[in-house]
Amino acid sequence: MMKRHLAHIAIIVDDYDRAIAYYTQKLKFILKEDTLLAEQKRWVLIAPSENCETNILLAKATNEAQLSSIGNQAGGRVLLFLFTDDFERDYQNLISEKVKIVRAPVSEKWGKVLVFEDVYGNLWDLIAPVNQAI
């Protein structure tokens, strides 16, 4: 049997330092790596927690096509799904950090969910699943 997992998901950003500051300060993510690859290129990985197998790669836009994709990589749909073990804690953090809540929290049979928008306009689901390890 083959064992596989997603290692990284790229989000196109306008500036490495702006993106790092937003995700680590506002969303309380962890900066896992920031390595200079070339004069204008860095390998920047962030994650919601230290033990995550899947990281977000912050990829700086380098041309017009990439710049036009910032914040719209999913065509206006939710791009990322962030599971939490404490919905109220993370919801209150979003409010205190003045993160834009696009859809208020609702309870579904599968869990509690809200939609928020990051600094670039990407939509995220914050989800507290019912009876499911995260």
d(CA 110, CA 20): 32
> Each residue of 54-64: pLDDT tens digit?
999 999 999 99
Largest CA distance in the chain: 50
Q: What is the mean pLDDT of residues 59-72?
A: 96
Q: What is the mean pLDDT of residues 102-107?
A: 97
Mean pLDDT (the chain) is: 95
Asked if pLDDT for residue 21 goes beyond 60, the answer is yes
pLDDT at 131: 75
Angle subtended at Cα 26 by Cα 100 and Cα 102, rounded to the nearest 5 degrees? 15
Q: What is the mean pLDDT of residues 111-122?
A: 97
Ordered by where they begin, the domains of the chain are 1-70 (3.10.180.10), 74-134 (3.30.720.110)
- Is the distance from CB of 7 to CB of 53 less than 8 angstroms? yes
Asked if pLDDT for residue 132 goes beyond 70, the answer is no
Total-model pTM: 0.92
pLDDT at 3: 86
d(CA 97, CA 76): 23
> Each residue of 76-91: pLDDT tens digit?
999 999 999 999 999 9
- Contacts with 28 (C-beta within 8 Å, 6 or more apart), sequence order: 48, 93
Asked if pLDDT for residue 33 goes beyond 90, the answer is yes
Nearest in space to 35 (alpha carbons), one of 18, 16, 51: 16
pLDDT at 133: 56
